[in-house]
Amino acid sequence: MSCNIIAIANQKGGVGKTTTCGNLGIGLANEGKKVLLVDCDPQGSLTISLGHPMPDQIVDTISSVLTKVINDTPIKDYEGLLPHTEGIDLLPANIELAGLEVSLVNTMSRESILKEYLDSIKQNYDYILLDCMPSLGMLTINTLTAADSVLIPVQAQYLPAKGLEQLLQTINKVRKQLNPKLKIDGILLTMVDARTNDAKEISQLLRDTYGGKLKVFDSVIPHSVRAAEIASFGKSIFAHDPGGKVATAYKDLTKEVMKLEIQRQKSKPDLIR
């Protein structure tokens, strides 16, 4: 199987991108896949949630690796990658990435620096998941240029249709100008509170609004205090609360994501014919 690069994107903060990136990644590793998680956010939330509470003290990060790509400096095998006890690798981020984003503006092929790096290491992995920052700046454009597909977490408390519209426009622009193969895996409803909120209504509303063009994942991620705690423990929901409803939901999402990939692989020979 070739490597599948998935950007977890939504320019709105607080919708569960980092939680989804970490738990989906470890869910895939639990299914025997080789997985790399890439923190593409200068706040380093993914890095912190995977057990590195002081990301600014990490020397080798995504910014040092991408700086080498920009300067055409050789990168050692597995440089900057941190192994995690739950079987994935992490390329961490810290505040230096904010500075790199500024310097990208004056770089040749500035939209494809991350792609160039990932192309050089993707043969080592089945899946690479990119945790995008909550904005539509140059770093997010880099993640969309490097990705095969986008998974969009949307908080189910209300319908952020305007924000979603903006993200879809950006994805279309990237598809037209930089990455014609970019697909949307679907929308994932997160932080669903069964008491106050009918997720079915919201997913129906999403389906109606986007006219069947976008998949809404069957798996919905419930709101849970246990899930909010995991960032401070440095491990996934599978290790922290394996019998809980959030672990079950992420297990279901993992299976859906793998099924999507199988369907795509099957349809490829049809396209060739």
pLDDT, tens digit (0-9, with 9 covering 90-100), for 16-46? 999 999 999 999 999 999 999 999 999 999 9
Q: Which residue has the tokens 């809980």?
A: 244
Q: For 190-232, write each residue's pLDDT tens digit.
A: 988 877 657 778 877 887 888 678 899 999 999 888 777 777 7
Higher local confidence (pLDDT), 70 or 273: 70
**pTM metric for this prediction:** 0.95
Q: What would the mean pLDDT of 254-268 be, rounded to a whole number?
A: 90
As a whole number of Å, the CA-based R_g of the chain is 18
CATH number of 4-272: 3.40.50.300
CB atoms within 10 A of CB 75: 16
- Looking at residue 32, the DSSP 8-state letter turns out to be T
| Full strand arrangement of the beta sheet holding 127-132 | 82-83, 89-91, 35-40, 127-132, 4-8, 149-155, 183-190
The share of the chain scoring above pLDDT 70, in percent, equals 94
Question: How would residue 159 be classed by pLDDT, with cut points 50, 70 and 90?
Answer: low
Cα separations in angstroms, 95 against 64, 92, 155, 160, 171: 12, 11, 26, 28, 26
Question: Shortest CA distance to 64 belongs to which of 36, 82, 102, 91?
Answer: 91
11 pLDDT higher than 60: yes
* Rounded-to-integer distance, Cα 52 and Cα 238, Å: 18
Cα separations in angstroms, 254 against 70, 130, 164, 204: 34, 15, 23, 22
